[in-house]
Amino acid sequence: MIFRKAPSVKDTATIRKILKFLERAYGRPPDLKRSPPVGELIRTILSQNTSDLNSLRAFAVLKKNFRSWDALAAARAGKIERLIRRAGLSRIKAGRIKGVLNEIRRREGRIDLSFLRDLSIEEALAYLRSLKGVGPKTAACVLLFSFGKPVMPVDTHIFRVARRLGIIGKGMAIEEAHKFLSGRVPKDLIYEFHLGIIEHGRRICKAKSPLCGGCAVYGMCGFPDKKLFLKKGRMR
């Protein structure tokens, strides 16, 4: 993955302004507490296509039932599937979890990803993406939340809100958005941007019925239907 050139002064000023408004609305995001990378990888796989609540509960069940990643890797897929059922797509995710753990051990001799800290962002992303079932968002989450590397994980909330705010173009695909936003958002703001935009997407800038009347960045938004939502009284 090759990131685009550094953001211009105008880009940086706009992004800082957006984050200033979001901080006033939702408060400052908590400081980054780095998580063990293998755990972050498994937790993020569980979070695919489900809510954080469901994925975190499933992850807690796995931690309770297996004392080590080796024990989890050696478990029968059916057992893992039953334990993570609340996370949804449990058969697929159980297979992915077993697969990535065993593949890491095959390559490295043990289930450990700490070596990613010393790789370049491009090398680390390439390694993680080479694991079956690991997409750009999952790989970016591991690098950001485990190592503090300036990589932007793009979920549906970030993709939607960034498009409405005009930060990314309407024709851009979500995979390209990972590369684009990682290069467009200043490195020191990536963590804050990620959490702030997700919070805004969950609370206000919803996919079908955005609450434009309560939007902290309404004046900066180019969403074409926002006036229609206000006129119909559907917003607060």
Show which residues are catalytic. Answer: 137
Distance CA 89, CA 58 (A): 12
Cα distances (angstroms) measured from residue 182 to each of 27, 74, 144, 200, 212: 23, 36, 11, 19, 27
Name the token pair of 144: 């950001």
Name the token pair of 172: 């851009």
Cα atoms found within 13 Å of the Cα of residue 109, Cβ hemisphere only: 1
Contact 147, 117 (CB under 8 A): yes
Contact 151, 144 (CB under 8 A): yes
